[in-house]
Chain A
Protein backbone atom coordinates (compact mmCIF):
# COMPACT_ATOMS: atom_id res chain seq x y z
CA UNK A 1 0.00 0.00 0.00
CA UNK A 2 1.36 3.42 -0.95
CA UNK A 3 2.21 5.89 1.82
CA UNK A 4 -0.12 8.90 1.51
CA UNK A 5 2.17 11.30 3.39
CA UNK A 6 5.88 11.17 4.06
CA UNK A 7 7.68 14.20 5.39
CA UNK A 8 11.47 14.24 5.52
CA UNK A 9 13.07 16.68 7.92
CA UNK A 10 11.21 19.89 7.13
CA UNK A 11 12.19 23.20 8.68
CA UNK A 12 10.22 26.42 8.51
CA UNK A 13 10.99 29.79 10.09
CA UNK A 14 9.07 33.06 10.18
CA UNK A 15 11.67 35.71 10.89
CA UNK A 16 13.51 34.58 14.00
CA UNK A 17 10.73 32.18 15.03
CA UNK A 18 11.33 28.56 14.14
CA UNK A 19 7.84 27.14 13.56
CA UNK A 20 8.88 23.65 12.41
CA UNK A 21 12.22 22.05 13.27
CA UNK A 22 13.36 19.03 11.32
CA UNK A 23 9.96 17.35 11.39
CA UNK A 24 9.61 13.90 9.81
CA UNK A 25 6.34 11.98 9.58
CA UNK A 26 5.01 8.92 7.83
CA UNK A 27 1.26 8.43 7.54
CA UNK A 28 0.10 4.84 6.79
CA UNK A 29 -2.60 4.32 4.17
CA UNK A 30 -6.26 4.11 5.29
CA UNK A 31 -5.37 5.19 8.81
CA UNK A 32 -6.86 7.95 10.90
CA UNK A 33 -3.68 9.78 11.80
CA UNK A 34 -3.95 12.15 14.75
CA UNK A 35 -1.55 15.09 14.61
CA UNK A 36 -1.41 16.36 18.16
CA UNK A 37 0.25 19.32 19.74
CA UNK A 38 -0.49 22.34 21.88
CA UNK A 39 -1.55 25.61 20.26
CA UNK A 40 1.40 27.14 18.44
CA UNK A 41 3.26 23.83 18.16
CA UNK A 42 3.54 24.11 14.36
CA UNK A 43 0.60 21.92 13.31
CA UNK A 44 -1.05 24.40 10.93
CA UNK A 45 2.30 25.38 9.42
CA UNK A 46 3.04 21.70 8.77
CA UNK A 47 -0.36 21.27 7.11
CA UNK A 48 0.16 24.36 4.95
CA UNK A 49 3.51 22.93 3.85
CA UNK A 50 1.85 19.57 3.10
CA UNK A 51 -0.66 21.36 0.87
CA UNK A 52 1.98 23.42 -0.92
CA UNK A 53 0.58 26.79 0.18
CA UNK A 54 3.77 27.40 2.15
CA UNK A 55 7.24 26.21 1.26
CA UNK A 56 9.64 24.58 3.73
CA UNK A 57 13.03 26.23 4.22
CA UNK A 58 14.57 22.75 4.17
CA UNK A 59 13.33 19.18 3.84
CA UNK A 60 10.91 17.47 1.49
CA UNK A 61 7.29 16.37 1.40
CA UNK A 62 6.12 13.31 -0.50
CA UNK A 63 2.43 12.73 -1.10
CA UNK A 64 1.44 9.35 -2.48
CA UNK A 65 5.17 8.74 -2.86
CA UNK A 66 5.59 11.64 -5.29
CA UNK A 67 7.52 14.81 -4.39
CA UNK A 68 5.14 17.69 -3.68
CA UNK A 69 7.63 20.26 -4.95
CA UNK A 70 7.59 18.88 -8.51
CA UNK A 71 4.23 17.05 -8.74
CA UNK A 72 2.05 19.51 -6.81
CA UNK A 73 -0.95 19.57 -9.13
CA UNK A 74 -1.06 15.80 -9.64
CA UNK A 75 -1.02 14.98 -5.93
CA UNK A 76 -3.33 17.81 -4.84
CA UNK A 77 -6.00 16.28 -7.05
CA UNK A 78 -6.12 13.36 -4.59
CA UNK A 79 -6.39 15.53 -1.47
CA UNK A 80 -9.29 17.27 0.25
CA UNK A 81 -8.52 19.70 3.04
CA UNK A 82 -9.97 22.01 5.61
CA UNK A 83 -7.30 24.26 7.05
CA UNK A 84 -8.20 25.82 10.41
CA UNK A 85 -11.69 27.34 10.32
CA UNK A 86 -13.87 26.82 7.23
CA UNK A 87 -13.80 29.72 4.79
CA UNK A 88 -17.02 29.76 2.77
CA UNK A 89 -18.26 32.57 0.50
CA UNK A 90 -20.87 34.08 2.78
CA UNK A 91 -22.97 35.59 -0.05
CA UNK A 92 -23.43 32.24 -1.80
CA UNK A 93 -25.58 29.29 -0.79
CA UNK A 94 -24.03 26.12 0.57
CA UNK A 95 -24.58 24.36 -2.75
CA UNK A 96 -23.08 27.29 -4.70
CA UNK A 97 -20.02 27.22 -2.45
CA UNK A 98 -19.50 23.58 -3.33
CA UNK A 99 -20.14 24.36 -7.00
CA UNK A 100 -17.24 26.85 -6.99
CA UNK A 101 -14.91 24.10 -5.81
CA UNK A 102 -16.49 21.47 -8.05
CA UNK A 103 -15.70 23.65 -11.05
CA UNK A 104 -12.11 24.06 -9.89
CA UNK A 105 -11.76 20.30 -9.47
CA UNK A 106 -13.62 19.43 -12.65
CA UNK A 107 -15.62 16.89 -10.61
CA UNK A 108 -19.01 15.59 -11.80
CA UNK A 109 -22.16 17.44 -10.62
CA UNK A 110 -23.29 14.50 -8.48
CA UNK A 111 -20.21 15.01 -6.26
CA UNK A 112 -21.97 17.98 -4.65
CA UNK A 113 -25.01 15.99 -3.56
CA UNK A 114 -22.80 13.14 -2.33
CA UNK A 115 -20.73 15.51 -0.20
CA UNK A 116 -23.83 17.28 1.14
CA UNK A 117 -25.40 13.96 2.04
CA UNK A 118 -22.27 12.71 3.79
CA UNK A 119 -22.22 15.73 6.13
CA UNK A 120 -26.02 15.89 6.46
CA UNK A 121 -26.38 19.37 4.98
CA UNK A 122 -28.88 18.75 2.17
CA UNK A 123 -31.82 20.52 3.90
CA UNK A 124 -29.78 23.74 4.30
CA UNK A 125 -27.88 23.56 1.00
CA UNK A 126 -30.04 26.21 -0.67
CA UNK A 127 -29.63 28.77 2.11
CA UNK A 128 -27.21 31.71 1.99
CA UNK A 129 -24.17 30.76 4.07
CA UNK A 130 -24.20 34.10 5.93
CA UNK A 131 -27.22 32.70 7.80
CA UNK A 132 -25.53 29.41 8.73
CA UNK A 133 -24.57 28.59 12.31
CA UNK A 134 -20.88 27.96 12.96
CA UNK A 135 -21.61 24.23 13.11
CA UNK A 136 -23.22 24.34 9.67
CA UNK A 137 -20.26 26.26 8.28
CA UNK A 138 -17.98 23.60 9.74
CA UNK A 139 -20.01 20.88 7.98
CA UNK A 140 -19.87 22.84 4.75
CA UNK A 141 -16.08 23.03 5.14
CA UNK A 142 -16.04 19.26 5.56
CA UNK A 143 -18.27 18.78 2.51
CA UNK A 144 -15.90 21.00 0.53
CA UNK A 145 -12.97 18.85 1.65
CA UNK A 146 -14.85 15.65 0.75
CA UNK A 147 -15.78 16.88 -2.73
CA UNK A 148 -14.62 14.48 -5.40
CA UNK A 149 -13.89 11.67 -2.89
CA UNK A 150 -10.21 12.38 -2.20
CA UNK A 151 -7.80 9.63 -1.17
CA UNK A 152 -6.38 11.77 1.63
CA UNK A 153 -8.43 14.07 3.82
CA UNK A 154 -6.51 16.69 5.80
CA UNK A 155 -8.54 18.26 8.59
CA UNK A 156 -7.14 20.98 10.82
CA UNK A 157 -9.07 21.25 14.10
CA UNK A 158 -12.34 20.06 12.48
CA UNK A 159 -14.46 20.21 15.65
CA UNK A 160 -13.67 23.83 16.53
CA UNK A 161 -16.89 25.75 17.13
CA UNK A 162 -19.12 22.67 17.13
CA UNK A 163 -21.60 21.82 19.85
CA UNK A 164 -21.29 18.39 21.56
CA UNK A 165 -23.70 16.78 19.09
CA UNK A 166 -21.77 18.21 16.15
CA UNK A 167 -18.47 17.02 17.62
CA UNK A 168 -19.93 13.53 17.98
CA UNK A 169 -21.10 13.53 14.35
CA UNK A 170 -17.73 14.67 13.04
CA UNK A 171 -15.99 11.99 15.10
CA UNK A 172 -18.28 9.30 13.70
CA UNK A 173 -17.70 10.58 10.18
CA UNK A 174 -13.91 10.66 10.56
CA UNK A 175 -13.90 7.17 12.06
CA UNK A 176 -16.04 5.81 9.21
CA UNK A 177 -14.23 7.33 6.23
CA UNK A 178 -11.31 4.89 5.95
CA UNK A 179 -13.69 1.91 6.10
CA UNK A 180 -16.46 3.34 3.90
CA UNK A 181 -14.46 5.20 1.27
CA UNK A 182 -10.93 3.88 1.72
CA UNK A 183 -9.66 7.35 2.64
CA UNK A 184 -6.72 8.20 4.83
CA UNK A 185 -7.55 10.93 7.34
CA UNK A 186 -4.90 13.29 8.69
CA UNK A 187 -6.50 14.96 11.68
CA UNK A 188 -4.81 17.83 13.46
CA UNK A 189 -5.96 18.75 16.94
CA UNK A 190 -4.79 20.14 20.22
CA UNK A 191 -7.38 17.97 22.00
CA UNK A 192 -6.05 14.61 23.08
CA UNK A 193 -9.53 13.24 23.78
CA UNK A 194 -10.61 13.99 20.20
CA UNK A 195 -7.67 12.12 18.69
CA UNK A 196 -7.88 9.30 21.21
CA UNK A 197 -11.43 8.49 20.15
CA UNK A 198 -10.88 8.29 16.41
CA UNK A 199 -7.22 7.83 15.56
CA UNK A 200 -5.38 4.62 14.82
CA UNK A 201 -2.00 6.34 14.67
CA UNK A 202 -0.70 9.60 16.04
CA UNK A 203 2.18 12.02 16.12
CA UNK A 204 2.83 14.54 18.86
CA UNK A 205 4.73 17.72 18.17
CA UNK A 206 5.79 20.47 20.46
CA UNK A 207 7.57 23.69 19.48
CA UNK A 208 7.92 22.38 15.93
CA UNK A 209 9.67 19.15 16.94
CA UNK A 210 8.36 15.61 16.73
CA UNK A 211 8.01 14.07 20.19
CA UNK A 212 6.28 10.82 19.31
CA UNK A 213 5.03 8.95 16.26
CA UNK A 214 3.33 5.58 16.25
CA UNK A 215 0.12 3.80 17.16
CA UNK A 216 -2.02 4.94 20.07
CA UNK A 217 -1.26 1.65 21.80
CA UNK A 218 2.42 2.45 21.38
CA UNK A 219 1.91 5.85 22.97
CA UNK A 220 0.21 4.30 25.95
CA UNK A 221 2.93 1.63 26.16
CA UNK A 222 3.12 -0.48 29.32
CA UNK A 223 2.57 2.79 31.17
CA UNK A 224 4.76 3.92 34.00
CA UNK A 225 3.33 3.05 37.39
CA UNK A 226 3.70 4.71 40.74
CA UNK A 227 2.62 3.39 44.13
CA UNK A 228 0.77 5.89 46.29
CA UNK A 229 0.97 5.19 50.03
CA UNK A 230 -1.01 6.83 52.83
CA UNK A 231 0.01 5.96 56.41
CA UNK A 232 -0.44 7.22 59.97
CA UNK A 233 3.30 7.97 60.40
CA UNK A 234 4.70 9.33 57.14
CA UNK A 235 8.14 10.15 58.59
CA UNK A 236 8.65 6.64 59.93
CA UNK A 237 7.34 5.06 56.70
CA UNK A 238 9.70 7.24 54.66
CA UNK A 239 12.64 6.09 56.81
CA UNK A 240 11.65 2.41 56.47
CA UNK A 241 11.30 2.55 52.69
CA UNK A 242 14.43 4.64 52.21
CA UNK A 243 16.26 2.23 54.48
CA UNK A 244 15.93 -0.60 51.98
CA UNK A 245 17.52 1.53 49.28
CA UNK A 246 14.38 2.59 47.39
CA UNK A 247 13.81 6.10 46.07
CA UNK A 248 10.79 7.61 47.81
CA UNK A 249 9.09 10.94 47.07
CA UNK A 250 6.85 12.97 49.40
CA UNK A 251 3.61 14.56 48.21
CA UNK A 252 2.08 16.14 51.30
CA UNK A 253 1.36 13.30 53.73
CA UNK A 254 1.54 10.75 50.93
CA UNK A 255 4.58 8.79 49.82
CA UNK A 256 5.23 7.89 46.20
CA UNK A 257 7.56 5.25 44.86
CA UNK A 258 7.98 3.19 41.72
CA UNK A 259 7.39 -0.56 41.99
CA UNK A 260 9.60 -3.21 40.44
CA UNK A 261 9.32 -6.97 40.01
CA UNK A 262 10.74 -7.76 43.47
CA UNK A 263 9.14 -4.96 45.42
CA UNK A 264 5.46 -4.35 44.73
CA UNK A 265 2.48 -3.22 46.83
CA UNK A 266 2.34 -6.45 48.86
CA UNK A 267 5.99 -6.23 49.91
CA UNK A 268 5.63 -2.53 50.76
CA UNK A 269 2.55 -3.20 52.85
CA UNK A 270 4.28 -6.04 54.75
CA UNK A 271 7.39 -3.95 55.40
CA UNK A 272 5.41 -1.00 56.75
CA UNK A 273 3.08 -3.09 58.92
CA UNK A 274 6.03 -5.07 60.36
CA UNK A 275 7.69 -1.73 61.07
CA UNK A 276 4.67 -0.61 63.14
CA UNK A 277 3.16 1.74 60.55
CA UNK A 278 -0.59 1.53 59.84
CA UNK A 279 -1.31 1.66 56.12
CA UNK A 280 -4.64 3.36 55.30
CA UNK A 281 -4.30 3.50 51.51
CA UNK A 282 -2.11 1.71 48.98
CA UNK A 283 -2.67 2.20 45.27
CA UNK A 284 -0.81 1.50 42.06
CA UNK A 285 -1.48 4.40 39.67
CA UNK A 286 -0.61 4.05 35.98
CA UNK A 287 0.10 7.11 33.82
CA UNK A 288 -2.71 7.91 31.38
CA UNK A 289 -2.48 8.97 27.74
CA UNK A 290 -3.05 12.50 28.94
CA UNK A 291 -0.10 12.20 31.34
CA UNK A 292 2.07 11.01 28.45
CA UNK A 293 0.89 13.85 26.22
CA UNK A 294 1.53 16.45 28.90
CA UNK A 295 4.90 14.95 29.70
CA UNK A 296 5.92 15.10 26.04
CA UNK A 297 4.64 18.61 25.39
CA UNK A 298 4.91 20.64 28.58
CA UNK A 299 8.63 20.19 29.20
CA UNK A 300 9.37 22.61 26.33
CA UNK A 301 7.19 25.31 27.80
CA UNK A 302 8.32 25.04 31.42
Chain B
Protein backbone atom coordinates (compact mmCIF):
# COMPACT_ATOMS: atom_id res chain seq x y z
CA UNK B 1 0.00 0.00 0.00
CA UNK B 2 1.99 2.94 -1.34
CA UNK B 3 -0.15 5.65 0.29
CA UNK B 4 0.48 4.07 3.68
CA UNK B 5 4.24 4.09 3.03
CA UNK B 6 4.15 7.77 2.10
CA UNK B 7 1.98 8.57 5.14
CA UNK B 8 4.46 6.69 7.30
CA UNK B 9 7.31 8.79 5.88
CA UNK B 10 5.33 12.03 6.28
CA UNK B 11 4.70 11.38 9.96
CA UNK B 12 8.43 10.94 10.58
CA UNK B 13 9.16 14.28 8.91
CA UNK B 14 6.98 16.00 11.53
CA UNK B 15 9.28 14.97 14.36
CA UNK B 16 10.63 18.00 16.30
CA UNK B 17 8.66 20.46 14.14
CA UNK B 18 6.72 23.54 15.19
CA UNK B 19 3.82 22.16 13.14
CA UNK B 20 3.49 19.23 15.54
CA UNK B 21 3.82 21.41 18.65
CA UNK B 22 1.14 23.77 17.37
CA UNK B 23 -1.42 20.94 17.45
CA UNK B 24 -1.33 21.24 21.24
CA UNK B 25 -0.18 24.84 21.75
CA UNK B 26 -2.92 26.51 19.65
CA UNK B 27 -5.97 25.01 21.42
CA UNK B 28 -4.33 25.33 24.83
CA UNK B 29 -3.75 29.02 24.17
CA UNK B 30 -7.49 29.44 23.54
CA UNK B 31 -8.43 27.46 26.66
CA UNK B 32 -6.02 29.42 28.86
CA UNK B 33 -7.30 32.74 27.50
CA UNK B 34 -10.90 31.70 28.13
CA UNK B 35 -10.06 30.52 31.67
CA UNK B 36 -8.44 33.92 32.30
CA UNK B 37 -11.40 35.77 30.77
CA UNK B 38 -14.00 33.70 32.63
CA UNK B 39 -12.18 34.13 35.93
CA UNK B 40 -12.38 37.90 35.44
CA UNK B 41 -15.87 38.18 33.90
CA UNK B 42 -17.77 34.93 34.50
CA UNK B 43 -21.21 36.28 33.64
CA UNK B 44 -20.30 37.76 30.28
CA UNK B 45 -18.25 34.76 29.14
CA UNK B 46 -19.80 31.58 30.54
CA UNK B 47 -23.17 32.24 32.11
CA UNK B 48 -24.65 34.14 29.19
CA UNK B 49 -27.67 32.29 27.73
CA UNK B 50 -27.65 28.51 27.25
CA UNK B 51 -30.39 28.16 29.92
CA UNK B 52 -27.88 28.57 32.71
CA UNK B 53 -25.83 25.54 31.64
CA UNK B 54 -22.28 26.67 32.37
CA UNK B 55 -20.81 23.72 30.45
CA UNK B 56 -22.58 24.80 27.28
CA UNK B 57 -21.57 28.41 27.85
CA UNK B 58 -17.93 27.43 28.34
CA UNK B 59 -17.91 25.14 25.28
CA UNK B 60 -19.62 27.80 23.20
CA UNK B 61 -17.17 30.59 24.00
CA UNK B 62 -14.20 28.26 23.40
CA UNK B 63 -15.56 27.07 20.05
CA UNK B 64 -16.47 30.60 18.91
CA UNK B 65 -12.96 31.91 19.64
CA UNK B 66 -11.54 28.76 18.06
CA UNK B 67 -13.67 29.04 14.89
CA UNK B 68 -13.23 32.79 14.41
CA UNK B 69 -9.66 33.42 15.49
CA UNK B 70 -7.47 30.42 16.04
CA UNK B 71 -8.65 27.79 13.55
CA UNK B 72 -8.13 29.87 10.37
CA UNK B 73 -4.68 30.85 11.61
CA UNK B 74 -3.84 27.28 12.57
CA UNK B 75 -4.94 25.95 9.18
CA UNK B 76 -2.82 28.58 7.45
CA UNK B 77 0.19 27.80 9.59
CA UNK B 78 -0.07 24.00 9.51
CA UNK B 79 -0.57 23.72 5.76
CA UNK B 80 2.32 26.14 5.13
CA UNK B 81 4.63 24.40 7.60
CA UNK B 82 3.88 20.89 6.35
CA UNK B 83 4.41 21.93 2.72
CA UNK B 84 7.47 23.93 3.77
CA UNK B 85 9.19 20.77 5.01
CA UNK B 86 9.67 19.77 1.38
CA UNK B 87 9.90 23.23 -0.17
CA UNK B 88 12.90 23.93 2.07
CA UNK B 89 16.12 22.62 0.49
CA UNK B 90 13.96 21.68 -2.52
CA UNK B 91 13.27 18.17 -1.25
CA UNK B 92 10.94 17.59 -4.18
CA UNK B 93 13.84 16.73 -6.49
CA UNK B 94 14.60 13.76 -4.20
CA UNK B 95 11.04 12.74 -3.38
CA UNK B 96 9.66 12.83 -6.90
CA UNK B 97 12.60 10.75 -8.15
CA UNK B 98 11.41 7.91 -5.90
CA UNK B 99 9.22 5.10 -7.26
CA UNK B 100 6.10 6.59 -5.70
CA UNK B 101 3.11 8.13 -7.56
CA UNK B 102 3.02 11.89 -7.18
CA UNK B 103 -0.61 11.98 -6.05
CA UNK B 104 0.31 10.06 -2.90
CA UNK B 105 2.46 12.98 -1.66
CA UNK B 106 -0.42 15.41 -2.15
CA UNK B 107 -3.00 13.14 -0.53
CA UNK B 108 -0.72 12.09 2.34
CA UNK B 109 0.03 15.69 3.26
CA UNK B 110 -3.69 16.56 3.04
CA UNK B 111 -4.55 13.65 5.35
CA UNK B 112 -1.80 14.67 7.77
CA UNK B 113 -2.97 18.30 8.00
CA UNK B 114 -6.62 17.23 8.30
CA UNK B 115 -5.68 14.85 11.13
CA UNK B 116 -3.68 17.60 12.84
CA UNK B 117 -6.64 20.01 12.73
CA UNK B 118 -8.92 17.26 14.02
CA UNK B 119 -6.47 16.43 16.83
CA UNK B 120 -6.15 20.10 17.69
CA UNK B 121 -9.93 20.46 17.97
CA UNK B 122 -10.00 17.37 20.19
CA UNK B 123 -7.37 18.97 22.44
CA UNK B 124 -9.59 22.07 22.62
CA UNK B 125 -12.59 19.99 23.70
CA UNK B 126 -10.49 18.23 26.30
CA UNK B 127 -9.34 21.68 27.44
CA UNK B 128 -12.99 22.72 27.88
CA UNK B 129 -13.47 19.86 30.33
CA UNK B 130 -10.29 20.81 32.19
CA UNK B 131 -11.37 24.46 32.24
CA UNK B 132 -14.75 23.39 33.71
CA UNK B 133 -12.91 21.65 36.53
CA UNK B 134 -10.46 24.50 37.15
CA UNK B 135 -12.71 27.55 36.88
CA UNK B 136 -14.83 26.99 40.05
CA UNK B 137 -11.59 26.89 42.05
CA UNK B 138 -10.45 30.30 40.87
CA UNK B 139 -13.87 31.89 40.39
CA UNK B 140 -16.31 30.83 43.16
CA UNK B 141 -19.25 32.50 41.41
CA UNK B 142 -19.16 29.80 38.75
CA UNK B 143 -20.92 26.51 39.56
CA UNK B 144 -20.97 23.75 36.99
CA UNK B 145 -24.14 22.22 38.36
CA UNK B 146 -25.31 20.35 35.24
CA UNK B 147 -23.92 17.14 33.88
CA UNK B 148 -21.33 17.52 31.13
CA UNK B 149 -23.24 17.59 27.77
CA UNK B 150 -20.72 15.29 26.10
CA UNK B 151 -22.71 14.70 22.96
CA UNK B 152 -23.44 18.35 22.23
CA UNK B 153 -19.90 19.51 22.92
CA UNK B 154 -18.42 16.72 20.78
CA UNK B 155 -20.95 17.34 18.00
CA UNK B 156 -20.29 21.07 17.85
CA UNK B 157 -16.51 20.56 17.93
CA UNK B 158 -16.73 18.06 15.09
CA UNK B 159 -18.94 20.43 13.10
CA UNK B 160 -16.50 23.33 13.50
CA UNK B 161 -13.58 21.16 12.34
CA UNK B 162 -15.68 19.65 9.54
CA UNK B 163 -16.74 23.03 8.20
CA UNK B 164 -13.10 24.10 8.06
CA UNK B 165 -12.24 21.41 5.50
CA UNK B 166 -12.89 23.60 2.44
CA UNK B 167 -10.56 26.35 3.72
CA UNK B 168 -8.00 23.68 4.62
CA UNK B 169 -8.16 22.15 1.12
CA UNK B 170 -7.63 25.58 -0.48
CA UNK B 171 -4.74 26.45 1.84
CA UNK B 172 -3.17 23.04 1.21
CA UNK B 173 -3.20 23.66 -2.55
CA UNK B 174 -1.80 27.18 -2.18
CA UNK B 175 0.94 25.97 0.18
CA UNK B 176 2.10 23.24 -2.19
CA UNK B 177 1.67 25.34 -5.33
CA UNK B 178 3.89 28.24 -4.24
CA UNK B 179 7.22 27.65 -2.57
CA UNK B 180 7.24 30.97 -0.71
CA UNK B 181 5.94 30.72 2.85
CA UNK B 182 4.68 34.31 2.56
CA UNK B 183 2.23 33.40 -0.24
CA UNK B 184 0.51 30.74 1.87
CA UNK B 185 0.46 32.86 5.02
CA UNK B 186 -0.61 35.98 3.12
CA UNK B 187 -3.49 34.08 1.51
CA UNK B 188 -4.63 32.79 4.90
CA UNK B 189 -4.50 36.17 6.60
CA UNK B 190 -6.29 38.02 3.79
CA UNK B 191 -8.93 35.28 3.68
CA UNK B 192 -9.40 35.44 7.45
CA UNK B 193 -9.89 39.22 7.44
CA UNK B 194 -12.26 38.89 4.48
CA UNK B 195 -14.25 36.24 6.33
CA UNK B 196 -14.86 38.62 9.30
CA UNK B 197 -16.02 41.29 6.88
CA UNK B 198 -18.27 38.91 4.96
CA UNK B 199 -19.83 37.50 8.14
CA UNK B 200 -20.58 40.99 9.44
CA UNK B 201 -22.08 41.98 6.09
CA UNK B 202 -24.14 38.82 5.81
CA UNK B 203 -25.59 39.35 9.30
CA UNK B 204 -27.11 42.56 7.98
CA UNK B 205 -28.16 41.37 4.57
CA UNK B 206 -27.93 37.52 4.59
CA UNK B 207 -26.93 35.95 1.30
CA UNK B 208 -24.01 33.97 -0.05
CA UNK B 209 -21.20 35.92 1.65
CA UNK B 210 -21.67 33.84 4.81
CA UNK B 211 -20.60 30.79 2.80
CA UNK B 212 -17.10 32.18 2.21
CA UNK B 213 -14.87 29.11 2.88
CA UNK B 214 -12.97 30.61 5.83
CA UNK B 215 -16.27 31.83 7.38
CA UNK B 216 -17.98 28.43 7.34
CA UNK B 217 -16.81 27.26 10.82
CA UNK B 218 -18.39 30.37 12.34
CA UNK B 219 -21.80 29.15 11.17
CA UNK B 220 -21.95 26.40 13.81
CA UNK B 221 -23.41 28.98 16.20
CA UNK B 222 -25.46 30.76 13.54
CA UNK B 223 -29.18 31.41 14.06
CA UNK B 224 -30.16 28.46 11.80
CA UNK B 225 -28.27 25.46 13.18
CA UNK B 226 -30.48 23.03 11.23
CA UNK B 227 -28.52 24.03 8.12
CA UNK B 228 -25.30 22.55 9.51
CA UNK B 229 -25.74 19.20 7.76
CA UNK B 230 -26.11 20.93 4.39
CA UNK B 231 -23.14 23.18 5.12
CA UNK B 232 -20.97 20.22 6.09
CA UNK B 233 -21.87 18.47 2.87
CA UNK B 234 -21.04 21.62 0.92
CA UNK B 235 -17.72 22.08 2.73
CA UNK B 236 -16.60 18.50 2.09
CA UNK B 237 -17.90 18.30 -1.48
CA UNK B 238 -16.19 21.57 -2.40
CA UNK B 239 -13.10 20.63 -0.38
CA UNK B 240 -12.73 17.32 -2.19
CA UNK B 241 -13.25 19.04 -5.54
CA UNK B 242 -10.55 21.60 -4.71
CA UNK B 243 -8.26 18.78 -3.55
CA UNK B 244 -8.82 16.87 -6.79
CA UNK B 245 -7.95 19.96 -8.84
CA UNK B 246 -4.95 20.72 -6.61
CA UNK B 247 -3.69 17.16 -6.89
CA UNK B 248 -4.03 17.24 -10.68
CA UNK B 249 -2.07 20.52 -10.74
CA UNK B 250 0.60 19.09 -8.41
CA UNK B 251 1.04 15.94 -10.49
CA UNK B 252 1.54 17.93 -13.68
CA UNK B 253 4.11 20.37 -12.35
CA UNK B 254 7.84 20.15 -13.00
CA UNK B 255 10.50 20.55 -10.34
CA UNK B 256 13.07 23.21 -11.06
B-contacting 9-mer, from A24-32, A88-96, A168-176, A180-188:
A88-96
Number of interface residues of A (CB under 8 A): 30
Assess whether A104 is in contact with B97, with CB atoms less than 8 Å apart. no
- Alpha-carbon separation in the docked complex, A224 to B91 (Å): 46
B94 touches A101 (CB 8 A): yes
CB-CB under 8 A for A51 and B97, given A92-B15, A104-B5: yes
Minimum Cβ distance to chain B for residue A91 (Å): 5
Q: Which of A77, A96, A104 contacts B95 (CB 8 A)?
A: A104
B99→A91 contact, CB < 8 A: no
- Identify which of B13, B97, B101 contacts A92 (C-beta below 8 A): B13
Contact status B12-A92, CB under 8 Å: yes
The proximity string for A residues 62-90 relative to B, scoring 1 for CB distances below 8 Å and 0 otherwise, is 00000000001110110101011001111
A window 95-146: CB within 8 A of B: 96, 99-101, 103-106, 144
Q: Quick one: given A87-B91, A87-B93, are A104 and B17 in contact (CB under 8 Å)?
A: no
Least CB separation from B96: chain A residue:
A53
**B85, B88, B96: residue with the most chain A Cβ atoms closer than 10 Å:** B96
> Among B8, B89, B100, which residue has its beta carbon within 8 angstroms of that of A87?
B89
B85 contacts A73, C-beta separation under 8 Å? no
Complex CA–CA separation, A96 to B16 (angstroms) = 12
* 1/0 contact string of B54-94 vs chain A (CB within 8 Å): 00000000000000000000000000000001001111111
Chain B window 8-23, contacts with chain A (Cβ cutoff 8 Å), 1 for yes, 0 for no: 1100110111000000
Given A48-B93, A48-B255, residue A104 in contact with residue B12 (CB < 8 A): no
Contact residues in B for A77 (Cβ distance below 8 Å) = 99
List residues of B (1-39) whose CB comes within 8 Å of A's CBs: 5-6, 8-9, 12-13, 15-17
**A53/B93 in contact, CB under 8 A:** yes
CB of A69 to closest CB in B, whole Å? 14
Whether A76 contacts B99 by the Cβ 8 Å rule is yes
Q: Which residue of A lies closest to B100 (CB)?
A: A104
Contacts of B16 in A (CB 8 A): 91-92
Contacts of B89 in A (CB 8 A): 87-90
